[in-house]
Chain A
Amino acid sequence: MKKIAIRVDDLTVAYNYKPVLWDIDLTVPEGVLMAIVGPNGAGKSTLIKSILGIIDPIAGSVSIYDKPYSKQRKLVAYVPQKGSVDWDFPTTALDVVMMGTYGKLGWIKRPGQKEKKASLEALEKVGMLPFKHRQISQLSGGQQQRVFLARALVQNASIYFMDEPFQGVDATTEIAIINILKELRKAGKTVIVVHHDLQTVPEYFDWVTFLNVKKIATGPVKDIFNDDNLTKTYGINYKVAVNQ
């Protein structure tokens, strides 16, 4: 039996009395590449944001490797949605990636040569080394996404949360990113991805969670990625709708 990387118990989140996530129980085994799928407004981003403590849940708890998340932050890396920041901020690609080292450095201490070297390696891994001194507003959407990925890679975490990393990127970038994610899985890391494209789920992921305010199902793609769960999640007969 594999170790449990993430355990979520009774997680409930609400804005203005309206529940966004309702009583979510979720366990994710170590070493899987998991997609979170569901319609718009299903609470996919909210789920990872509340696991990461960015949003305060009304109820529930999160543990990472059997300890409270607050004690395990250094094991966790996060790739936010690309659109969540202002890309006109005066800084360079390398500088953004260096931010990934700040957590381990802690307060006040500045990044040095070691952190710089690690950041350059991460940029290299995502194919962005030639753009290291580029002002971030001059990067394309796909390049910005790669920079965000590099920033998470440099954290050298055990668990990676990614919020729609494929949104608005071209096919080349999508393939580059998925290859890196598969590499992470091979290295024994756990990767959780908010994902929109149902077609690619069986190809990219080995684990999946269906979410629509409540958790519909979670498990291996080959066992649970079926019409029954898709219909329960999206409320339409998915297969019929696609084949129309």
Chain B
Amino acid sequence: MRLTCPLCGDRDRREFHYYGAEVYADRPDAGAALDAWDDYLHLRDNPAGETRDLWYHEIGCSAWIVVTRDTVSHRILQTALLTARQRQVGKFVYQEGDLREVPAKPGAATGGERP
């Protein structure tokens, strides 16, 4: 398995530490109801298909990365720095240009350069 770190490029998954679903970055506001905290801490979707999760480039640049991938095909669809998230009326979106599209074909994200 390969992941494209937005800072370092195409790397083997052994360089990364897997955390879990992206929603862990959506921390409730201080004072939110206990239900909101319960949801945030414990309740996760388990989609067959597209999912977003958090990876830490531990043996690399220390960046936390949001990876969009398909749990059925194993395709990596997008990777983005966690810091690129912007809060917008209740949900997180990414700024234009912060997402790196990972082409369907492996390796193409390196743009022809030698890894």
Bound together: no
* B-to-A contact residues, CB < 8 Å: none
